[in-house]
Amino acid sequence: IKLSEDDIKSCAKLKINSFVLPKIETSKDIKFIQKVIKKFSKLKNFSFLILIESAKAIINLKEICDIKG
């Protein structure tokens, strides 16, 4: 994933509850981001707008859509 934990941590500390996630290609990308946000955010509920932008993401679309919060 192209974002570092520090980038995600900075956003989580701002009490942002919605995130646009560009260039997601696998469920591992989302799980990584969820883990970091849950670790550093005090908010319990947040949402993602996941952008599917590559052939790899389309191949992994079911796996991406099956992610639970």
> pTM score, two decimals?
0.81
Question: Whole-angstrom Cα distance, residue 57 to residue 10?
Answer: 26
3-state secondary structure of 33: helix
Q: pLDDT tens digits, residue range 5-64?
A: 888 888 888 878 888 999 999 999 999 999 988 888 888 888 999 999 999 999 999 999
Predicted confidence at residue 3, as pLDDT, reads 63
Predicted confidence at residue 1, as pLDDT, reads 52
Residue bearing the bigger pLDDT, 24 or 4: 24
Which residues lie closer than 8 Å to 23 by C-beta, 6 or more apart? Answer: 2, 51, 53, 54, 57
pLDDT(4) > 90 = no
